[in-house]
Structures are given as C-alpha cells and as structure tokens.
Amino acid sequence: MSKLLNRELFEKLLLIFIIIQPILDILTYFSMQALNASLTIGIIVRVLFMAASLWFIFFGNSSRLKKYVITYLIALAAVLTIGLIYNFFAKPIFNPFLELQFLAKTVYFPIMLGAYLLLFTTLDKTLIVRMRIMKAITIAMVIIAVSMFIAILTGTSSETYEWNKFGFKGWFNSGNEIGSIIAISFPLVYIYTLNKVDNLKKLYYFIPMIFIALVSILLGTKVGFFAVLGASVIVFVSYLIYWLISKVKATTKESHLHLRLISSLIFLILFLVATPFSPTFSNVSGDVGQINEQREATEDPDQDGIEEGAGEDPSGEEGDGTKGGDDAAAALGEQALIESPILKIILSSRNIYFAHIYGMYEEADVVQKTFGMGYAGNYEDIRKLIEMDFFDLFFSFGILGILLILTPFLIIAGLFLKLLFKAPGEMLHPQNILILLSIGFGTGIAFLAGHVLYAPAVSIYLAISIVLLLTNMLHLNNRLRKA
C-alpha cells in the first residue's frame, strides 16, 4: 500500500475515531454498570487505534519529521522500560497489571501526538483537514450533550458527586473527564463555528456551542464551566481589540468581523444569564463559602505563642536561633501548607496525597529518583495517585521520564515565544488564541485536577490542539524564512 493511501486511510480512521469517542465512553459506562468488567469496548478500540497509530508512525508516512518523532518515542520507551524493570525488583509491592496499565495510559498521549503531527505534516490541503477534524470534534461534543440531556430527562443520569455537591454526568463514568474534554474541546468548536458563520442565516452553527455550554453548567464541575466562561470572555475581548485596531488602521483582511464580534458578545451574555440557575454556580458558591469559613476559623489574633518561641534553638540550646529557627519555621511552613484547610478545598485534598508520595520519593534510591517509582510509588498499604498529572508522572517515571514527557510542551513554548516577537499579529489572532486556550486549559487541568495526560479519552483532544498550533507555527516559521 502506498504512503498516500496510508495517509488517507489514517485520516479517515482519525475522523471516525474522534466522532465515536463519546459512544465508546457511553458503552463503557453501561458495560461497567451491567457486567462490572475491567476490559471494556473503550479500552479495546483505543488500544487498536494506538497500534494503528504506531504503524502509521513507523511505516505509513513520509513526513520530514518522521525521524525526530521515532527517536523521541524510542527514547521515551527506553526510559520507561528501565524504570519498569528496576521497580519489579525494588518496589515492596509490584502489581504487573496496574504498572503496565498506567504505563500504557501514559504513552498513549505521546503516540497520538506523534501520529497526528506526522499526518498534518504530510497533508497537501491542511486547512481543509483541520476543518474536518474540528467538525468531527463538534459532532462528538453534540453526542455528549444530547446523550446527557436524554439521560437527565429520562431520570437515568448518574450524579457527578456522591455528596455535598450537585450535578449530572449522564451516561459517563467520570465527571472530571467529561469536564476536561469540554474544556479542551470548546475552543476548537468555537473556531469551527466562527469559520462557518459568515451571515445571519448560519447562526444555527452556534447550536453545538450552546449545547456544550449547557453541559458545562449542568455537570457541576468547576473545570468545564470556567473553561467555557474564560474562552467566551477572551474571544469577545480579542475580537473587540481586533475590531478597534482595524478601525484605527483601516486595513483589516478579516471578513465578517462585525458579525463575529456581535455573536461572541451575545453568546457570552446568554451564558452569564444562565449561570446563576446552574448546579455549577451552586457548587462554586459552596466552595467559596467553605473557604471563607476556613479562613475565619484559622485567623487567630493572639500571637503570644509565636513571640515566646522566637530566637530559641529547637535543640534546646541557647543562641540567636537563626539557623535552627529558620529550619523550624520552614518545617512548620511545609506542614501548614500540607494541612491547609483552604488548600484541601481548592485541591480536593490532593496536597495530602502529594505529601504521602513525596515522603516515599525522599526515601527512594538514586535509580528510582531518575527513572521513577512506578504506579503510586513504593506503597505498602495506601495505593493512591495524587491526581495531579505532572506530579504523578514525575514520581512514577522520575526525572528523565518527566523531562521526555514535557519535551513537546517545551518545544511549543519555545517556538511560540520566538514567533511572538517576529509576527505578533498572526500569533495573537483570535482563532490562534482559541487554540492556545485549549492547550492552556488542558495543561492547567492536568496540573491541578489530573485525568488528562494519562487519560486516553481526554488526551486525544489535547494532542489535536497541540498539533493544530504546532503546524500553524511551523507554516508561519517557513513563510517567514522565505520572506
């Protein structure tokens, strides 16, 4: 089979794969409810597509970046394999299924990223395929929204939270994952909508966006809600600035600018009007109330205890207390940070799990610090991830592992800063800003709430956003070189 046919086949498979993502998640939900099976249709299909992506990377393309992607993946595989083999002998408890499952989930994102990048860098009509992919993402988001509406109306929806908070997650297992998917995908759906709406008769293209916005406030999670709100505000402000600049310079090439400015304003207003009646607003208000209560409870005007201890050496010896006092203060500061009630509310107690795994890391040997401690660290009784992706990946795969995993992000950041100085107008175009927002939401959620970089159902969308921005920047960079 020729490289051209391989590329066209993989492109079609990718579009189908994107569209069926929510269907796979729904089937997974019902299979787990009915059979409580660990092996689901979602896992099978995603593993098969990962295998197809690897085949495309090694044999199905002729991209100029092929050797770089393959070298990167081989280096990553080598580091993760060394860590896996060492932990087989070093960890107190080594569960092969959990270790291999977590490793497979982790490599899913780099493999998808590499496959999409090679696909986009071998395309002749990149813009057309970009729009097809964003259309496929829009269809997938509509499937999520419609299925959730049906689940709520029929009374078959599962609840996002088990206690204290309120929200619906429809026929999906994880409210956090759906919230992350919405956050990453919404800016891309916005781009597709803005490109399609070129007159008033096509305002119906905003319907998918309205559906996604409704899901974000019905879900009850902060992630999806603030992503939709943030994107809506930034798009309106960006187009407003763009419009003002065009008025001053009177030389804009942007067509339908007024329509896009007004439609983005209307959408933002409608979203703000609907927000106070949503589960998310109630949950966020509850969190704010809890934080205020905890802040008031921890405020103690009596500082006598602190003053009495000033200048004392913790060893009991007399002295000026500079070194001992500093060490004691640092230890107390770390303890206060870990046990902070406010931080517990904001991070849902992830700071406690961080302290637990960090303690294991401090006691680990040099090899484990370099190649990682594997899934959940050197646990003996409590087996728990932090659920903050970058920390989980650092402790699981060590210094070398996290550096390799972060390499794509560092490359994008460096290229973006370089082009920002050379062509700020193009880099900060509203539609480029939307792609940046999608990546920013994905990485921000990965850092604070987890379930992105090692969640295949979510990481596929982040990989698409990164490749969309990277190919944009590569085309711009080539154009600037030729100019």
The answer, yes or no, to whether residue 280 has pLDDT greater than 90, is: no
pLDDT computed for residue 4 by the predictor? 60
Q: What does 347-395 look like in DSSP terms, one character per residue?
A: HTTHHHHHHHHHHHHHHS-HHHHHH---TTSS-SS-----S-HHHHHHH
Q: Which of 39, 161, 1, 18 is nearest to 464 (CA)?
A: 18
pLDDT computed for residue 332 by the predictor? 44
Model confidence at 203, in pLDDT bands (50, 70, 90)? Answer: confident
> For residue range 104-158, what is the model confidence (pLDDT) as tens digits?
999 999 999 999 999 988 866 677 888 899 999 999 999 999 999 999 999 999 9
> For residue range 383-437, what is the model confidence (pLDDT) as tens digits?
989 989 999 999 999 999 999 999 999 999 999 999 999 988 888 888 889 999 9
Domain range summary for the chain, segments of one domain joined by +? 136-296
Pairwise pLDDT comparison (295 vs 206), residue with the higher score: 206
pLDDT computed for residue 105 by the predictor? 95
CB 172 within 8 A of CB 25: yes
Report for 62-76, 156-170, 190-204, 314-328: range of highest mean pLDDT? 62-76
Which residue carries 């921005």 as its tokens?
Answer: 469
Report CA-CA distances (Å) from 210 to 114, 162, 284, 341, 435: 32, 27, 21, 36, 19
End-to-end CA distance of the chain: 38
Dist. CA 421–CA 436, nearest whole Å: 16
Residue 158 dihedral angles phi and psi, to the nearest 5°: -85, 155
Dist. CA 270–CA 236, nearest whole Å: 13
Report for 89-93, 281-285, 422-426: range of highest mean pLDDT? 89-93
Lowest mean pLDDT among 23-37, 162-176, 252-266: 252-266
- Percentage of the chain modeled with pLDDT above 70: 83
CB 144 within 8 A of CB 181: yes
Half-sphere exposure in the Cβ direction for 6 (13 Å, CA):
19
Dist. CA 308–CA 326, nearest whole Å: 16
pLDDT computed for residue 316 by the predictor? 38
Dist. CA 394–CA 76, nearest whole Å: 13
**What are the beta bridge partners of residue 236?**
none
**What are the beta bridge partners of residue 170?**
158
CB 407 within 8 A of CB 460: no
Q: What does 143-164 look like in DSSP terms, one character per residue?
A: HHHHHHHHHHHTT-PEES-SSS
pLDDT computed for residue 148 by the predictor? 95
**Average pLDDT of the residues of the chain:** 85
Dist. CA 408–CA 324, nearest whole Å: 43
Which residue carries 């302290």 as its tokens?
Answer: 355
Dist. CA 70–CA 470, nearest whole Å: 17
CB atoms within 10 A of CB 322: 10
pLDDT computed for residue 305 by the predictor? 43
pLDDT computed for residue 338 by the predictor? 54
CB 187 within 8 A of CB 233: no
Length of the chain: 483
Structure tokens at 246: 């065009």
Structure tokens at 103: 């490793």
Q: Which of 229, 208, 234 is nearest to 271 (CA)?
A: 229
Model confidence at 309, in pLDDT bands (50, 70, 90)? Answer: very low
Residue 314 dihedral angles phi and psi, to the nearest 5°: -60, -20
Tell me the pTM: 0.87
Q: Which of 433, 439, 14 is nearest to 194 (CA)?
A: 433
